[in-house]
A = this chain, B = another copy of it.
Amino acid sequence: MDSNQIEQEMKALVNAPHQFSFENGIVITKVERDLCEGELTVGPDSVNPGGYVHGGALVTLADTVAGCCACSRGGDCVTANESFEFLRTAGGPKIFCRAVPRKMGRTLRVIQTELTDSSGRLVASGTFTFFMTA
């Protein structure tokens, strides 16, 4: 399966109704070998009690984009664990996430994510470890 096919199949799978990410305004926008991007459109229901984007929405964005990166050479995966740093309060209209590999092992893949807001400020970062199931 070439990269273009992988991108089309992954977008069809993830950018779809009933996906937790999609129902919360998150879509994958780019899948290339070892690079994945996605974005969250901040809505009235994206927030925490402080009025900023909920940390859970940021982690959901990052986990989704990182998982696509882990599978960007093909295969299936589950998230084994992650660490995540909230660097600045985040607002709309959009949050962008970019994911690249630190390690693409046969069984474990480690993906680094960076999240920026619409003005380009780094608002969060996270590292995700995936277990390849296929």
Interface residues of A (CB under 8 A from B): 13-14, 18-21, 23-24, 44-50, 53-57, 59-61, 63-64, 76, 78-89, 102-103, 107-108, 110, 112, 122, 125, 127, 129, 131
Instruction: Contact check, A129 vs B18: say whether CB atoms are below 8 A apart.
Output: no
A80-B108 contact in complex given A18-B47, A127-B125, C-beta closer than 8 Å? yes
Instruction: Contact check, A83 vs B81: say whether CB atoms are below 8 A apart.
Output: yes
Instruction: Contact check, A60 vs B54: say whether CB atoms are below 8 A apart.
Output: yes
Give Cα A24 to B57, complex, Å: 11
Instruction: Contact check, B54 vs A21: say whether CB atoms are below 8 A apart.
Output: yes
The smallest beta-carbon distance between A99 and chain B, in angstroms, is 14
Which B residues lie within 8 Å of A13 (CB)?
49
The smallest beta-carbon distance between A27 and chain B, in angstroms, is 14
Which B residues lie within 8 Å of A44 (CB)?
18
